[in-house]
Amino acid sequence: MSLVQFFRVLNRNLNLFLLCSIVLAVVVFFLTRNLPKEYQSETEVYTGIASGLNVASVENSALDFFATSNEYDNLINIIQSKQTLVEVGERLLYRHMMLDSADPRFISEENWGHFRYKMPQELEDSLLVPGSMNETLENIREYKQKNYDSYLVKLTFEDGGSPYSYKSIQRINVYRLQNSDLIKISYTWSDPGIVQSTLEILNDVFTDKMAQIKMGQSSDVIEYFQEQVKLASQRLQVAETKLKDFRIKNRIINYQEQTKSIATLKEMMEDEYQKELAVKAAAEASVQKLEKQLELNKEIIKFSDDILEKRKQLADLKFKIAQLEVYYKDARELEKLKNEAERLEASLNNTVEKRYQYGKTTEGVPLRDVLQEWLSYTLALDEANARLEVFETRKTYFRSVYDEFAPLGSEIARMEREIAVEERHYLELLHSMNMAMMRQQSETLATGGLVVTVPPSYPLQPQKSKSMLLVLVAAVIGFIVPFSIVIIMEFLDNTIRHPERAEELTGLKLLGAFPDLMEYSKNKNVDMVWLREKALGLMSQNTRLEMRNLGVSNKKPKFVVVFSTRENDGKVFITHELANELVSMNFKVLVISHKPDGREAFYDSASYEGGREFLKTRSFEDLIPAGYTPSVYDFVFITFQSVLTEQYPLDLTEKADMAFCVISAHRSWNKADRFAMKEFVNTLNVPPRLIVNGVDPDYMDAVLGDIKKSRSFLRRFMKMIFTLEFHSKGFRSRNK
């Protein structure tokens, strides 16, 4: 829909729109002229949400706009919640119950009468507990619960005209002042005392609820963490006690130091052991060499009982001395054994010296020197063997100690890991509990930070009446609603209406259009005589052009079939008007119709009877009555009945020189029409042309251009704006 069409619809139904607007405005005026006066009061509360100080962060930190917005949404929703507003109504009722009579500071005389009607004295006596608001509120709630379906409860707590009902108190308006920490709450009611009291009570109620919610949430969290910290502490103590008992059982003071000391002693022992092996190897080599030198006297030395006995005794003494030096460290016993070993060694030396005082070896070396040297190395070998035997025993001891301490280390490490895990869990829970307690303290301070910076005032003057505003709104609605309905109907209208849509739906080329001549169409300031003449002139002009294009301009007569897919499309009327127009141009015209037209005609006319005989007609001459000479006529128009519902002669149709399809602009075009049109066009040997009948004069500009009609200066100017014809010659000429 173009702007021009839009304003045409507006202009066409303007009287209806104005009537609806005026009627609705008058109705609202009479309904609202006696509205009661209303008073409004406001209060402002500082929240500290955005810039307030809290325990969790005492320094300035980056502002989280999302979190801040969420906090404000929570606060506003709590204020506007039904539970909050219901409690406000109950507290307001308690305040009025505490009065003995009407007090303008709290309730006016008129509203006191309504209060007494809703709250009889006997009911008030049963509910009111003087000096105890909580008990009174409990009684009121219990009464409401028991008598929820009673008329008195509904009138007091559910009726929109009661100041104690949720429906009335929800008229409060809550919003944040720009980006500040302040919120503003306003309330409007017919009693100034009730307005002020309601806001005062509301401030107390939502502050208490915020504190309950914040403290309740944090208390649950803290209780959870306290329980978990207690359990974690118990598990940690169990793990530590288990490790302590394990150390006591296995006599472990410091596992790391003990194992380090054992390893050090073992390394020292291994070093001494290796040195002793070297001493033994050296002694064995020396003894073997000396025994080879004493080979001749070997039997004497070997079987000398005295020497062997003393040697055995001396070896035993050396073993005992080695044990004392390695294990016991008994200085007195060690000194005694060493002295005895020295005496035995001296005695052995004297015996050997006496036995072999004059002997020599096979190499000629004095046997005394060789024997002395042999004795020294033999004694050294015996001493080395004794110490090695002690070292072997010591190695066995260290192996047993290692076998004992190796699994103990793994067990201690496992227990220490378990303690570390339990300790870390305990510390994390303790930290979380401390953070929750800090958050609780912060929430406590933040809730206490809700400060009423502007207490609700007592309104002295009523607000301006909204009666005129309501009347104005009603007038606008009365205009917009029917206007919207008409526009929607225009969009939903499935009729053909204008020629462009007819061409699009039928697929035929437009020959012309004829305006709607009904009375309502004449009330458009349109020159209907001019419009009718121009429409007929265009159709006759296009008819003659069509003859030339089809090459039948010189043929006499030219047979023209006029048809429509449905009845009442106006094909007989269009044929009548077109025939008269051609006659006025000195053409001879014959119209053959299935029914007489009955209008004044300047052409010759005839009719045919439908039926089987008509369907057998093969030539147009067969339809011309006797006495009529076909060659006299320039045009012979033959109108068919509806091709959708009535049969037509096929042989006759295909011989038509021209064909005109007439459709009404006031009907729709559907699948049946398309099918009937397609079949009829296939019968013709010429392409049919389209004539749209009953077109609204406003849509005739698509065929004839600018329609001749009387327009005011404003309408001409508006049309120029909507059609973007800023340099219109017609507009300039009209304004000369």
Is pLDDT above 80 for 727? no
What number of CA atoms fall less than 13 Å from residue 260's CA on the CB side? 5
Residues 531 and 646 in one domain: yes
Q: Classify residue 11: in a domain, yes or no.
A: no
For residues 406 and 508, membership in a common domain is answered with no
Angle between helices 367-448 and 331-355 (to 10 degrees): 160
pLDDT value at 13 more than 70: yes
Report, as an integer, the average pLDDT of 560-565: 94
Q: Which residue has the higher pLDDT, 204 or 240?
A: 204
Q: Is 40 helix (H, G, I), strand (E, B) or coil?
A: strand
Percent of the chain with pLDDT over 70: 80
Q: Residue 2 and residue 695: Cα distance in Å, rounded?
A: 17
Question: 426-468, pLDDT tens digit by residue?
Answer: 888 888 878 777 766 655 544 445 778 888 988 888 877 777 8
Provide the pLDDT for residue 152.
85
- State the pLDDT at residue 297: 54
* pTM reported for the whole predicted model: 0.49
Higher pLDDT, 560 or 285: 560
Q: Residues 534, 385: one domain?
A: no
d(C-alpha 663, C-alpha 692), whole Å:
5
Residue 64 has a pLDDT of: 64
Q: Note the pLDDT of residue 149.
A: 85
Output the CA–CA distances (angstroms, integers) from residue 100 to 108, 134, 156, 459, 582, in the order listed.
13, 20, 19, 23, 100
pLDDT at 562: 95
Number of domains in the chain: 2
- Start-to-end Cα distance in the chain: 33
pLDDT at 624 over 50: yes
Q: Helix, strand, or coil here: 735? A: coil
pLDDT at residue 60 in the model: 46
Taking only the tens place, the pLDDT of each residue in 531-553 is 889 999 999 999 999 999 888 88
pLDDT given at position 234: 86
Residue 286 domain-assigned (yes or no): yes
pLDDT at residue 128 tops 80: yes
For the chain, give the mean pLDDT.
80
Q: 3-class SS at 155?
A: helix
Helix (H, G, I), strand (E, B) or coil at 623: helix
Amino acid letter for position 465: S
Residue 241 predicted with pLDDT over 50: yes
| Per-residue confidence (pLDDT) for residue 173, from 0 to 100 | 92
The reply to whether 243 falls in a domain is no
Whether residue 150 is predicted with pLDDT greater than 70 in this model: the reply is yes
Cα dihedral value 635, 641, 644, 645, nearest 10: -160
| Residue 498 and residue 407 share a domain | no
Q: Give domain status of residue 125, yes or no.
A: no
pLDDT at residue 408 is higher than 50: yes
Question: 639 or 301, which is more confident?
Answer: 639
For residue 216, pLDDT beyond 70: no
Q: Are residues 406 and 502 in the same domain?
A: no
Q: For residues 673 and 662, give the distance between their C-alpha atoms in angstroms, rounded to a whole number.
A: 12
| Inside any domain, residue 401 | yes
**DSSP 8-class letter at 165:** S
Mean pLDDT of 497-511: 91
The mean pLDDT value for 332-358 works out to: 73
pLDDT at 66 over 60: yes
- Is the confidence at residue 529, as pLDDT, over 90? no
CA angle 92, 88, 181 (to 5 degrees): 125
Lowest mean pLDDT among 224-238, 264-278, 505-519: 264-278
Last residue of a domain, one of 412, 433, 466: 412
Higher pLDDT, 615 or 220: 615
Question: Does residue 388 lie in a domain region?
Answer: yes
Q: Convert the pLDDT of each residue in 348-375 to its tens digit.
A: 777 766 655 445 555 556 656 666 777 7
Burial of 215 (0-12, 13-18, 19+ CB in 10 A): middle
522 plus 388 within the same structural domain: no
Identify the residue with better confidence: 631 or 300. Answer: 631
pLDDT above 90 as % of the chain: 20
Find out whether 603 and 580 touch, Cβ atoms under 8 Å: yes
Question: Does 327 score more than 70 pLDDT?
Answer: no
Tell me which of 695 and 210 has the higher pLDDT: 695
Residue 45 has pLDDT above 80, yes or no: yes
Task: Kindly state whether residue 502 falls inside one of the protein's structural domains.
Answer: yes
Q: In CATH, what number is assigned to the domain containing residue 661?
A: 3.40.50.300
Q: Does residue 526 share a domain with residue 649?
A: yes
Which range marks the domain in which residue 350 is found? Answer: 260-412
Give backbone dihedrals phi and psi of 11, rounded to 5 degrees, phi first.
Answer: -65, -35
Query: Per the domain annotation, does 297 fall within a domain?
Result: yes
Q: Are residues 659 and 559 in the same domain?
A: yes
pLDDT band of 733, cuts 50, 70, 90: very low
Question: Residue 583: is its pLDDT beyond 80?
Answer: yes
> What 3-state class would DSSP assign to 643?
coil
